[in-house]
Amino acid sequence: MGRYGMFKQNAFMFGYSQKRLFLAQELGFKLMGFSIIVNEKEAYEKAVADGYNNVKLLDITDDMALEQLVVQDNDYLICVMDDHHLNVFLTLSLHELFPKAIVVALSDSPHTTQKLKMAGASKIIDLYQVSANRIYNILHKPVATKLVERLLTSDEDFSFKEMPIPKGSSLDGVMVDDFDFTQHAVILVGMIDERLSNQFIFITSGLENRFDVGDTIVCIGYNADLERFEEYLKL
């Protein structure tokens, strides 16, 4: 079992190239229903040779072919084609065919990002924007950058963790300010308050919240401390 546990959702990654090996590897490891969809024979053969079982060769410009995919609500459709025109077109098609699925796409410019948004992508990662931010952070926030790097690297002993507050938890009904997280060697970063908005709220935003059953709290800490704290929540 992976670091984040197995996911119920399936993920379909559209496109497979040298640049996406890491992503495919990690997703293949974390997600039970992970499929790779390609539109070129070469990419298909490479994915199969790399050991992936669920690889499909489709004409992704053909809606009839795409319709054959078994996509459930909230499944992830990851558009990472090297050709960004095709990527936008694919996003549009997928959003139209599977409106309840989550389309995640990769962009290479603000113009593409805008087009992907219009095409219906739920999450867009701009390759160069994140890199530009990284350069700025290396220059001006080196310590913070190292920390984020540690958080993003899956083989580190240090991470973010989302923890739902279970029934009967000692945290139920407690005001945020009244609970001392430092005792448990973790830092509360934010929470999703089911009662209020079901949106992620940063703890530093100044809202006076109360922990209730069903809320999800998000903490940073060493993995061992986080797991200990998760157990504590259940008490």
Give the interface with other proteins as residue ranges (CB under 8 A): 4, 7, 11, 19-20, 22-23, 26-27, 30-31, 76, 78, 80, 104, 106, 108-110, 123, 125-144, 146-148, 151-153, 158, 160, 162, 177, 182, 185-187, 189-190, 192, 200, 202-206, 216, 218, 220-222
Please give the radius of gyration of the chain, using alpha carbons only, rounded to the nearest integer. 20
DSSP state of 210: B
Nearer to other proteins, 65 or 185 (CB): 185
- Which one, 123 or 234, has the nearer CB to other proteins? 123
State the minimum distance, in angstroms, from the CB of residue 13 to other proteins.
Answer: 9
Least separation, in Å, of the C-beta of 108 and other proteins? 6
Q: What is the DSSP string of 26-46?
A: HHHHHEEEEEEEESSHHHHHH
Closer residue to other proteins in complex, CB, 19/195:
19
In whole angstroms, how close is the CB of 106 to other proteins at the nearest point? 6
- Minimum CB–partner distance for residue 234 and other proteins (Å): 20
**CA nearest neighbour of 221 among 159, 151, 149:** 159
| Closest CB 21 distance from other proteins, rounded Å | 9
Kindly provide the b/e burial profile for residues 142-169, where b requires at least 16 CB atoms within 10 angstroms of the residue's own CB: eeebeeeeeeeeeeeeebebebebeeeb
CA distance 99 to 221: 36
Nearer to other proteins, 56 or 150 (CB): 150
Per DSSP, the three-state class of 135 is helix
H-helix segments, 120-188:
127-140, 142-152
Residues with Cβ within 8 Å of 53's Cβ and at least 6 positions away in sequence, in order, are none
With respect to other proteins, which residue has the nearer C-beta, 69 or 103?
103
**Helix or strand run (H / E) with residue 9:** strand 7-14
Residue 14 beta carbon to other proteins: minimum distance, rounded to whole angstroms:
12
Of residues 23 and 97, the one with the C-beta less far from other proteins: 23
